[in-house]
Amino acid sequence: MIGTILTDILKTFSPEELKKFGEMVSSPFFNRKTPVLKLFIHLKKYYPEFKDPELKKEVVYSQVFPDKRYNYGTMKNLIYELQELAERFLSDTEMRNNSFEIKRSLINSLRKRSLVSLSKKKLRELQNANSEIQINDYDYFLKLHYINRMNQDLLLESSKGIVDISKKINEEYIMYLFSSIKYLKKYYLHDALREYNIIITNKNIIDTASVLSESKSLINNYDNEFTELPLQLEVSFLKMNLGSIPEEDFLKIKKLVLTDLYEMNVDKEITYGFSIYLLNYCRIKNLTERRYKSYAFEILKSLADNNNFESGSAHLNIVLMRNIILISTELGEFRWCENFLDNYLIKTHPNFRDNLMNFYLAHKYFYQRNFEKSLEYLSMFRSDDIYDKNYIKELQVINYYELEYFDLLNEQLESFKKFLTKNNKLPQTYREQYLKFVNYMYKLFRAASGKKTDVRYLREKLFLETELIFKDWFINKTEELEKD
């Protein structure tokens, strides 16, 4: 088949991007080789899947060179050249989306060509465009750093050949120097806060013990530096991520993100990131306070209502999609979830779409108590992802319990336990959380299968648990056993 790197890149293109890339390949400015253009024209017929027997290299070669015998070297070079164009298209697209960097490059080019007056004019325009604090720009402080550095450079360029540098120029230069350093420091503080928030938000994927300690130190050591609004926002989220905050404060932050930031026309990617922080906090709080599941659903509805899944990726985030399904199905919001999938499933990577639909249907039928149907869709799920496997094993054992397939349940619990203990790719906190689930499932299974178990004591222990997956389900099952 055609090289996977090339087709993997092309798969990420939206239809509009594929059209623009075609224009680039057709332009003599970028590509003067007709065979490269022919290769692209042939490949785009198979967009977006790029899965077809006709994509064998020999078949594609015959389409590009109909009168020539297959030549491995020629085909390899052709694929490589189209891949290079695709990579340049990605970098050019990234640059075109960054107007500040385009203007900064222009100002520096003008200065290096001794066009100082024009360079100063362009710099004033850039300063005016960045004069107000912007919470919708992750690079805001870095831009201010660059603006002050460019002012320094232009002062030096203007002073070339002058024997006696005036006191005013000296003072201006020092002012720009100190401002440049100050904003660079604030940029790195802002970036550190963001990175810590992201890592803690993904603590089931990344081991965060050392990060938690460093986060607290950062807040304590630099608390007086968090004066501007972008820094204040990130430090508020970090404090929220580090532990419990009063519900009143959480609701204020939720209103800010779900209402105020949209009214302020803040960049959607920023609002998306803040929404993910809120979702993570809801996930943690939901283990002890179930109303946070409803808060999480409000956040998801806000993202959908505002068509805001701007993660910076060409496709929707697969972890978020999975969480949307888990939250909405647990709340019985099947119609909303199906409407969401109708609109957004197409925006996920093609490789994940079938699995996501099977994941949804398996959970839907579980909550509708159609356990056989749930198992049927779980059996259709195909994934090498360790987290996907974990979710599947979890729902399988619960279905087996509900159907009283105790032999299968016992086998699956043994398999699940081995999977958790031997898989060192899983973070320790994540492994411990699911081992606790397995251990309680063993105890419940023993009680349900007639083996001696103090059900009341088990239920009391369950009530005391603060971080148990499917805690309510476990409690309901012990109550059913007590009634029997």
Within a domain: residue 10? yes
pLDDT of residue 204: 54
pLDDT of residue 268: 84
Question: Above pLDDT 70, what percent of the chain?
Answer: 94
- Tell which of 152, 167, 190 closes a domain: 190
Tell me how far apart the alpha carbons of residues 186 and 460 are, in angstroms, rounded to a whole number: 50
The predicted structure's pLDDT at residue 41? 93
- Whether residue 307 lies inside any domain: the answer is no
* Same domain for 124 and 87: no
Query: Which of residues 147 and 288 earns the better pLDDT score?
Result: 147
Say yes or no: 441 and 373 in one domain: no
What span, in angstroms and rounded, lies between the C-alpha atoms of 329 and 365?
Answer: 9
**Number of domains into which the chain is organized:** 4
Mean pLDDT computed over 198-209: 68
Q: Examine the domain organization and report whether 118 and 135 are in the same domain.
A: yes
Sign of the C-alpha dihedral computed for residues 359, 360, 366 and 369 taken in this order: negative
80/164 same-domain check: no
Mean pLDDT of 469-477: 89
Does the residue 420 lie in any domain?
A: yes
Residue 245 lies in a domain: no
413 with 328, same domain? no
The reply to whether 429 and 478 lie within a common domain is yes
Q: What is the mean pLDDT of the chain?
A: 88
Asked whether the whole model's pTM tops 0.85, one would answer no
Question: Is position 371 within any domain?
Answer: yes
Q: Distance between CA 175 and CA 172 in Å, rounded?
A: 5
Rounded Cα distance between 233 and 452, Å, is 54
Q: What does the alpha-carbon distance between residue 13 and residue 20 come to, in Å, rounded to a whole number?
A: 10
Domain boundary residue among 167, 190, 213?
A: 190
Q: Is the pLDDT of residue 439 over 60?
A: yes
Residue 223 domain flag: no
CB-count exposure of residue 115 (10 Å: 0-12, 13-18, 19+)? middle
| 376 and 422 inside one domain | no
pLDDT digits (tens, 9 = 90+) for 147-192: 999 999 998 888 775 646 677 778 888 999 999 999 999 999 999 9
Is the separation of the CB atoms in 186 and 141 below 8 Å?
A: yes
| Domain range enclosing 68 | 4-96
The answer to whether the beta carbons of residues 302 and 279 sit under 8 Å apart is: no
Please tell me whether residues 420 and 330 are part of one structural domain.
no
Question: Is residue 221 situated within a structural domain?
Answer: no
For 99-131, the pLDDT digits (tens) are 899 999 999 999 999 999 999 999 999 999 887
Q: Looking at 306-369, list the stretches that DSSP marks H as alpha helix, in order from N- to C-terminal side.
A: 318-330, 334-344, 353-367
In this structure, is residue 471 part of a structural domain? yes
Residues 340 and 436 grouped into a single domain: no
Task: Quick: pLDDT tens for 311-370.
Answer: 666 788 888 899 999 999 999 999 999 999 999 999 998 989 999 999 999 999 999 999
| Residue 84: pLDDT over 90 | yes
> Is 355 found in the same domain as 389?
no
Does residue 47 contact residue 2 with C-beta atoms inside 8 Å?
Answer: no
Mean pLDDT value across residues 54-59: 87
Boundary-marking domain end, from 96, 123, 150: 96
Q: Return the pLDDT at 20.
A: 95
Are 412 and 362 members of one domain? no
Residues 157 and 88 in one domain: no
